[in-house]
Structure 1
């Protein structure tokens, strides 16, 4: 087994309380990545965001229904199950988490260290919430990160890309890939990626947001998604 890195699939669950931009393509890309990483012997970790059904232990202000139950990722409901097409297989690991970051109040860091993992391949949702928080914590804990940009998404394309730019500007141990290019890299083929080399490399003014996104996507060989 190849244990210098691990594939971390963040919150690809049945939760349908909010629409996700281009989610069908993200599911398709995630399935391709899972097939390839399994073939390469890379350990796979899934996360599931789960809120206690009685509403206890929620962050302040977490939305509740009229009975006091969490509106999203409610324990004991289909919301928390991993999407069937991406279901874990024997040997895969599942980390249940109560907050955005996969490292907060979980044993993920300990499990990764026991395996000797030094770099994480990351995909999932939401780019501007759980993916962002997890990558920032991974960086703080000393991991390198390969972020698969088109295997992540959020409620809007703008939110997704805003999170990518934050990470590109301030996480110095990150490398961005498209799914197609990461599969080439995994196979030892020539590939294209974006490894930011200086702080605030993608700094921009508000009116430059779309052009800056296009610059990042061009570095990945991606066509920019239509803005919502």
Structure 2
């Protein structure tokens, strides 16, 4: 079965404490709810020998590499968000990077902008990407649209991605479907190609 997934990679985007957990001013309201499904997606990817790419934000403590609209989070009286080496930049509980996984650091919405993601995927012979994480209208959408522009076949696991509201999420999923992106649920993705796993996908 691993041969069927030879040219596929799983991207797990921004599943970090400062972006998921409710204590943070930058948390995505729907983020905590999808953690179990993102965990399942990672488990299934490992069982299929699909490479896992942890796409994360890691910023300078002074916010010098962050978008202009977010720089107010980095003033002296604020708690800095997803600063490199800080607890808030860590993956949420239940998600763990393994030594053979790939960590990609970005400072903007798209995982392709000013990163080596495209060259990494090309070098690994990857032509299909599966996307999970947060949030749908920003980092998910821009990464997906860039991937489609670069001629990757793209799948977004719809219940392993999230936005602030279901309305925002669903509207952006529809836009991605309209450009040819596959949008299975985690249950459907578990059983693609008649794949059955002893892992619990329900």
Question: C-alpha displacement at 1:156, in angstroms?
Answer: 1.7
The worse-fitting range, judged by mean Cα deviation, of 107-116 and 64-73 is 64-73
CA 1:4–1:27 in structure 2 vs 1: closer, same or farther (change >3 Å)? same
Q: Counterparts of 1:132 and 1:71 in 2: how far apart (Å)?
A: 25
Give yes or no for contact 1:7–1:37 (8 Å, CA) kept in 2. yes
What RMSD, in angstroms, separates the aligned Cα atoms of the two structures?
Answer: 2.0
Find the residue that maps to 1:85 and give its secondary structure: coil
CA 1:71–1:135 in structure 2 vs 1: closer, same or farther (change >3 Å)? same
Q: What TM-score do the two structures reach when normalised by structure 2?
A: 0.84
Give yes or no for contact 2:111–2:143 (8 Å, CA) kept in 1. yes
User: Unaligned 5+ residue runs, structure 2?
Assistant: 19-23, 197-202
| Aligned residue-pair number | 187
* 1:180 corresponding residue in structure 2: 187
Q: Counterparts of 1:102 and 1:142 in 2: how far apart (Å)?
A: 15
Give yes or no for contact 2:137–2:172 (8 Å, CA) kept in 1. yes
The worse-fitting range, judged by mean Cα deviation, of 35-44 and 179-188 is 179-188
Give yes or no for contact 1:146–1:177 (8 Å, CA) kept in 2. yes
Find the residue that maps to 1:176 and give its secondary structure: coil
CA 1:30–1:45 in structure 2 vs 1: closer, same or farther (change >3 Å)? same
**Superposition map of 1:1-228 within 5 A:** 2-15=5-18, 16-65=24-73, 66-67=75-76, 71-169=80-178, 171-172=179-180, 174-185=181-192, 187-188=194-195
CA 1:68–1:163 in structure 2 vs 1: closer, same or farther (change >3 Å)? farther
Query: Residues 113-135 of structure 1: CA distance to partner in whole angstroms, max 9, x if unpaired?
Result: 11111100111001111001100
- Which is higher, the Rg of structure 1 or of structure 2? 1
Q: Counterparts of 1:7 and 1:139 in 2: how far apart (Å)?
A: 15
Question: C-alpha displacement at 1:19, in angstroms?
Answer: 4.5
CA 1:162–1:73 in structure 2 vs 1: closer, same or farther (change >3 Å)? farther
Q: What TM-score do the two structures reach when normalised by structure 1?
A: 0.75
Q: Counterparts of 1:105 and 1:187 in 2: how far apart (Å)?
A: 38
Which structure is richer in relative contact order (CA contacts within 8 A, separation 6 or more)?
Answer: 2
Q: Counterparts of 1:108 and 1:70 in 2: how far apart (Å)?
A: 29
